[in-house]
Amino acid sequence: MDTISIKIKSEAKFTDKEIKSIEQHKFLKVTRTKRNSEKAIILKISYPKFMDESNAYLVMDSNIPYKCNYKIYKILNRLRPNEELEIKILRVDIPFTYYMPKGMKFEGYKHIFHKMAQIFSENNDKFLAKSINEFIEDKIETLTFANAANVKNCNSKIIIYNQNKRFKDSYSYNYKSILKNHPDLPRRIRIEVSKRINRDSMTLDEFVNFDIFNEYKDDYLDFLFKNLFDAKLSKKGNLEFGDLLESIQIDESKKWLKYLKNYTNKRLLIAEKYNYKFTLKGLKIALKNFYSNSSSYDTAFHRIKKYVKERHMEFYGCYIDSDKEFIKMAKSLVEYYDFD
């Protein structure tokens, strides 16, 4: 779990003193509703910060949200002991963490991120993928996949980011302390699903006993599989990938084939295009169509593969097969929260 936002309606407006009392707890943040006359506040709850000084803590136990919500129950009961507060869940964010192989860097996954963007665009009419840097650059840090043009107000979105760099930038004053407590931070790729929630309001007692994590995690994981991986879980629990991946690979190989015909310097081609977005598997398919002689194909592919590997190591300090890593990443998410 990560964060949720809830709306708390009361019989009387919350005073500044009450809000200050709530916000003295580092895991809670209050904003007033847009209509000042409304007797309600928006409360953002951070479950990682309930356990730790920073959001680096990974909430892997569904009991933690319950303990946190019970703390909120006591806080609100102390402030408004004789009122029947109304709680409405507005948004729930559930993160998944993928651990990169040792020595690999976040920017080395640009081919995988590009493939995810292609899949997302096929599954969403109002497609939007944003990154703080363009895909062509080497220092990509954050990607946002949203199903509406206005990312801030969209109903659902997926954010993938370099968690280690985010903490380096945002918590530079105590980054070393965070890293000491969470030594796996440099290997994390954070994949966060955020959705608006449309369900009836509940009492404070009902909210405390509502199992938020287990209510939404399966739906959120299915959302990830469909929109980023073109995959779904079979009845046997295996991950099955769809036809969209194959069609993307075929389109990619056609573009590679076009470049192969027009480039005289094949190594220059690989240096320019592979570093941008095309995968080695797409090149392999194209080479088979480009060379009629199998021995010529074998020679060309092995030379190019060696060159790509050398270049990849030069850029990122490590070489991965992006197609295999893509499948590995999807499968790891099945196990992340002991998904049944």
Paired sense of beta strands 128-131 and 3-9, if any: unpaired
End-to-end Cα separation, the chain, in angstroms: 17
Is residue 43 very low, low, confident or very high in pLDDT (cuts 50, 70, 90)? very high
- CB-based contacts of 301: which residues, under 8 Å, 6+ apart? 283, 284, 287
Q: Tokens representing 265?
A: 């310097």
Q: Tokens representing 223?
A: 């959302």
**Average pLDDT of the chain to the nearest whole number:** 82
Under a CB-based contact definition with an 8 Å cutoff, are residues 122 and 151 in contact? Answer: no
Under a CB-based contact definition with an 8 Å cutoff, are residues 187 and 163 in contact? Answer: no
Residue carrying structure tokens 């869940």: 89
Least confident of 80-89, 119-128, 175-184, 222-231: 119-128
Q: What pLDDT score does 112 carry?
A: 85
Average pLDDT over residues 19-29: 92
Three-state SS at 87: strand
- CB-based contacts of 133: which residues, under 8 Å, 6+ apart? 139, 140, 141
Residue carrying structure tokens 């946190």: 68
Average pLDDT over residues 246-253: 83
Q: Tokens representing 294?
A: 């199998």
- pLDDT-above-70 percentage for the chain: 84
- pLDDT-above-90 percentage for the chain: 30
Output the CA–CA distances (angstroms, integers) from residue 38 to 7, 13, 75, in the order listed: 11, 7, 21
Q: What pLDDT score does 266 carry?
A: 65
Q: What pLDDT score does 153 carry?
A: 72
**Model confidence pLDDT, tens digit, residues 192-204:** 999 999 999 999 9
Closest CA to 282 of 305, 303, 307, 265: 305
- CB-based contacts of 113: which residues, under 8 Å, 6+ apart? 131, 135, 140, 143, 160
Is residue 152 very low, low, confident or very high in pLDDT (cuts 50, 70, 90)? confident
Q: What pLDDT score does 272 carry?
A: 65
Three-state SS at 21: helix
Among 84-88, 242-246, 264-268, 270-274, the range with the most confident prediction by mean pLDDT is 84-88
Burial class (CB in 10 A: 0-12, 13-18, 19+), 271: middle
Is residue 340 very low, low, confident or very high in pLDDT (cuts 50, 70, 90)? very low
Residue 28 dihedral angles phi and psi, to the nearest 5°: -120, 140
Answer yes or no: is pLDDT of 333 > 80. yes
Residue carrying structure tokens 């977005």: 277
Among 20-29, 101-110, 148-157, the range with the most confident prediction by mean pLDDT is 20-29
Answer yes or no: is pLDDT of 339 > 60. no
Output the CA–CA distances (angstroms, integers) from residue 95 to 110, 220, 271, in the order listed: 20, 9, 35
Answer yes or no: is pLDDT of 134 > 60. no
Average pLDDT over residues 296-311: 74
